[in-house]
Amino acid sequence: MPKTYAELLKEAKASIREVNPQEAEHLRAEGVTFVDVRESTEWDQGHIPGAIHVARSYLEQQIEAAVPDRNAPVVLYCAGGVRSAFGAQTLKELGYTDAISMSGGFQQWKGAGLPWTTPVVLSKEQQQRYSRHLLIPEVGSAGQARLLESKVLLIGAGGLGSPAALYLAAAGVGTIGIVDFDVVDVSNLQRQVIHASDRVGQKKVASARQTIEALNPDVTVVGHEEMLVGDNVERIIAGYDVILDGTDTFETRYLLNDAAVAAGIPVVHASVFRFEGQLTTFIPYEGPCYRCLYPTPPPPELAPGCSVAGVLGVVPGIMGLLQANEVLKVLLGIGTTLAGRLLIFDALEAEFTELKLRRDPACPVCSDGARAARERGEAPALSAFPADAPFVLSGAGLGALGGNDGNVGNSGAAEGRA
Amino acid sequence: MSTVYIPAVLRPSVGGVKSLDLGGGTVGELVHALLERHPGLGGQLLTPEGELNRFVNVYVNGQDVRYLDGLATPVGERDEVRLLPAMAGG
């Protein structure tokens, strides 16, 4: 027996629970998930803060990813309470035990003076460009807008920085800073894929800028054509959300670590050697820092750079993209970072190994004591640094420590970043 | 016997192998067993005083021995010991 629309709606409403906007607001305060089932054009004009957007037409397809817990209450709303009633009925059929429809919809919600917000609206071109991101509930237009407003600093446009820069630019990270004073050498091109044969001899920053601007006009490239040293590191890293460490010298890695901890900026770290790579994310005070991992650098003969030891081109490619993955997670606030974990990659065996890292309670840079001293405006005691600690930074809130003129040179980098 | 994994940078000192099965009840005993076979590694792993160099990390089953008992950390059969030096390349 065919049914009329009125009969269908009556049946749907009879099979589900409905709440009015005031009751819904109480549920929202308790942390209940809200799903807006209207069309994108309606969502763009305003929605309930914290709601997830899954259009009614995609509800069956996308709700399991957006709301995995079938036993948690979930409030659906639309403009007037009809689509959400049918939606809640569908969720019930999918096994959601407490699917609730908000009667009166968003119109009545706004009319009652309850809070609502307007999302960042992406342009038509951006909606197309980032459509595969927008389809992922964990990114969506709010996440994409966040990426567009983010600032990431790449230390080095070399083996690690090149692939990372390409994918971060493609992902729509709005500002990409690049620190590199080097020029493109033909021997870089085996792995530094952001550069090109016809740019040999050009500054790497200019070459990278050319590639990024051709790939994505949404990205602003900020060039820092200087060597990262004690005197400029604080100024260069200021204002960035995340730093990607793709240098090839220990001097720069320690210098950057110390300054980034002092500035409270996460550093996504990777290093490579022939067929192997190491990767982790340093989040100041939440996890260990580089000095916790390696209190001192090895002697040069034990740690040759890529220009001496060589590297399989794909290894920095793989590690650089894993760095970009960490950067995107930090920016979007999703997933679990590698903070406290060191990931080791062996290309020959195609093996990943994970090692546990800890904050060193005696770390001269990131221990609670060092942090407290920094917050009091005091330089950490000289004795806190082991006598063999290298590259002690005189800037970056660590105070003058002597034994170093602060003009730390990353001389190895002049040979070309690995 | 425990398996000791040798990082690429140290492999030339151990005949190019990726791992060695060595006997010993502690990390220190394993290191000494390794050095008996390959004395060339001595300066790279240990300080003149016989302590682990601070630029080489040693992990037993993924845990840094600096937060266990250092060279006295016990190792058992089938434990996985990994030497890990810092790398700078990028």
- Taking any CB pair shorter than 8 Å as contact, residues of chain B touching chain A are 7-9, 18, 44, 53-57, 59, 62-64, 66-67, 82, 84-90
Distance in angstroms (rounded) separating the CA atoms of residues A239 and A244: 14
Alpha-carbon span A177 to A383, nearest angstrom: 35
What is the C-alpha to C-alpha distance for residues A320 and A162, in angstroms, rounded to an integer? 8
Please tell me the distance in Å from B42's CA to the nearest CA on chain A. 13
- CB contact, 8 Å: A411 with chain B? no
- Taking the C-alpha atoms of residue B19 and residue B33, their distance in angstroms, rounded to an integer, is 13
Residue-number span of the structural domain to which B62 is assigned: 2-85
Does B89 sit within 8 Å of A311, measured CB to CB? yes
pLDDT digits (tens, 9 = 90+) for A229-285: 999 999 999 999 999 999 989 999 999 999 999 999 999 999 999 999 999 999 999
Closest CA to A390 of A265, A278, A286, A290: A290
Burial class (CB in 10 A: 0-12, 13-18, 19+), A359: middle
Active site residues of A: 306
Q: Is residue B7 part of a domain?
A: yes
Which of A194, A302, A315, A415 is the best substitution to test chain B (most B C-beta atoms within 10 A)?
A302
Contact assessment for residue A242 and residue A234, using Cβ atoms and an 8 Å cutoff: no
Interface of A with B in 1-30 (CB under 8 A): none
A58 touches chain B (CB under 8 A): no
Q: What pLDDT is stored for residue A382 in this prediction?
A: 38
ipTM of predicted assembly, 2 dp: 0.92
Percent with pLDDT over 70 in chain B: 100
Q: So what's the pLDDT on residue A398? A: 38
Number of Cβ within 10 Å of residue A262's Cβ equals 22
- What is the pLDDT at residue A300? 78
Is B8–A272 a contact, with Cβ atoms under 8 angstroms apart?
A: no
Ramachandran region, residue B30 (left: φ > 0; alpha: ψ -120 to 50; beta: rest): alpha
Distance CA A311, CA A248 (A): 12
- One-letter amino acid of A272: V
Task: Name the 3-class secondary structure at B83.
Answer: strand
Chain B hits for A317, CB-CB cut-off 8 Å, are: none
Confidence band of B88 (pLDDT split at 50, 70, 90): confident
Distance from CA of B23 to the nearest CA of A (A): 23
Chain B contacts of A388, Cβ < 8 Å? Answer: 54
Exposed, middle or buried, B85 (CB in 10 Å: 0-12/13-18/19+)?
Answer: buried
CB contact (8 A) between residue B88 and residue A357: no
Task: Provide the shortest C-alpha distance from residue A106 to chain B (in Å).
Answer: 52
Which of the 8 DSSP states describes residue A345?
A: E
Q: In B, which residues are within 8 Å of A416 by CB distance?
A: none
- What residues contact residue A320 under an 8 Å CB cut-off, 6+ apart? A159, A160, A161, A162, A163, A164, A246, A270
Is A388 within 8 Å of B53 (Cβ atoms)?
no
DSSP state of A36: E
Contact (CB<8Å) B85/A272: no
Give, rounded to a whole angstrom, the gap between the first and last alpha carbons of chain A. 73
Closest CB from B53, B66, B90 relative to A246: B90
CATH of the domain at B65: 3.10.20.30
Q: By CA distance, what is B5's nearest residue in A?
A: A353
Of A50-54, A384-388, B41-45, B69-73, the least confident: A384-388
Helix residue ranges, H only, chain B: 27-37, 42-45
* Closest to A119 measured CA to CA, from A134, A129, A131, A109: A134
Question: Which amino acid, A55?
Answer: A
Query: B-chain residues within 8 Å CB-CB of A156?
Result: 90
- Per the domain annotation, does B70 fall within a domain? yes
User: How many angstroms away from the CA of B60 is the closest CA of chain A?
Assistant: 9
Q: Is residue A289 less than 8 Å (CB to CB) from chain B?
A: no
Question: What are the CA-CA distances from residue B83 to residues A215, A294, B52, B63, B86 (Å)?
Answer: 41, 13, 11, 11, 10
Sheet harboring A52-53: ordered strands across? A17-19, A99-102, A74-77, A33-36, A52-53
What whole-number distance in Å separates Cα of residue A380 and Cα of residue A140?
44
Q: CA–CA separation, A190 vs B56, rounded Å? A: 30
Q: Does B53 map to a domain?
A: yes
Measured CA to CA, the distance from residue B21 to residue A309 in angstroms comes to 27
What values do phi and psi take at A294, rounded to 5? Answer: -130, 95
pLDDT of residue A110: 96
Helix (H, G, I), strand (E, B) or coil at A314: helix
Confidence (pLDDT) at A387: 38
Q: Residue A341's closest CA among B63, B12, B14?
A: B63
- Among A357, A370, A404, smallest CA distance to A258 is for A370
**pTM of the complete model beyond 0.90:** no
Distance from the A349 Cα atom to the nearest Cα atom in chain B, whole angstroms: 10
Residue B90 lies in a domain: no
The CA distance from A126 to B65, in Å, is: 50
Tell me whether residue B52 is in a domain.
yes
> Per the CB < 8 Å rule, is B64 touching A357?
yes
What count of residues does chain A have?
418
Count of structural domains within chain B:
1
Centre a 10 Å sphere on the Cβ of residue B57 and count the other Cβ atoms it contains: 21
pLDDT recorded at residue A397: 36
CB atoms within 10 A of CB B72: 12
User: How far apart (Å, rounded) are the C-alpha atoms in residues B54 and B85?
Assistant: 9
- Assess if residue B43 is contained within a domain: yes
In single-letter form, the type of residue at position B69 comes to D
Tally C-beta pairs within 8 A across A and B.
104
What is the C-alpha separation between A414 and B59, in angstroms, rounded?
34
Q: List, run by run, the mean pLDDT of 10-residue segments along chain A (418 residues).
A: 94 96 97 96 93 95 93 97 98 97 97 91 95 93 94 98 98 98 97 98 98 98 96 96 95 95 97 95 97 89 78 97 98 97 95 95 94 83 42 36 32 38
Tell me how far apart the alpha carbons of residues A201 and A159 are, in angstroms, rounded to a whole number.
17
Find out whether A269 and B90 touch, Cβ atoms under 8 Å: no
Within-domain flag for B9: yes
Q: Which residues contact A393 (CB under 8 A, 6 or more apart)?
A: A230, A233, A254, A255, A258, A259, A401, A404, A406, A408
* Residues A355, B67: C-beta atoms closer than 8 Å: no
Q: What is the Cα–Cα distance from A192 to A418, expressed in whole angstroms?
A: 8
Contact A256, A233 (CB under 8 A): yes
Q: Rounded to whole angstroms, what are the CA distances from A388 to A95, A114, A256?
A: 63, 62, 18
Contact list, B67 vs chain A (CB under 8 Å): 358
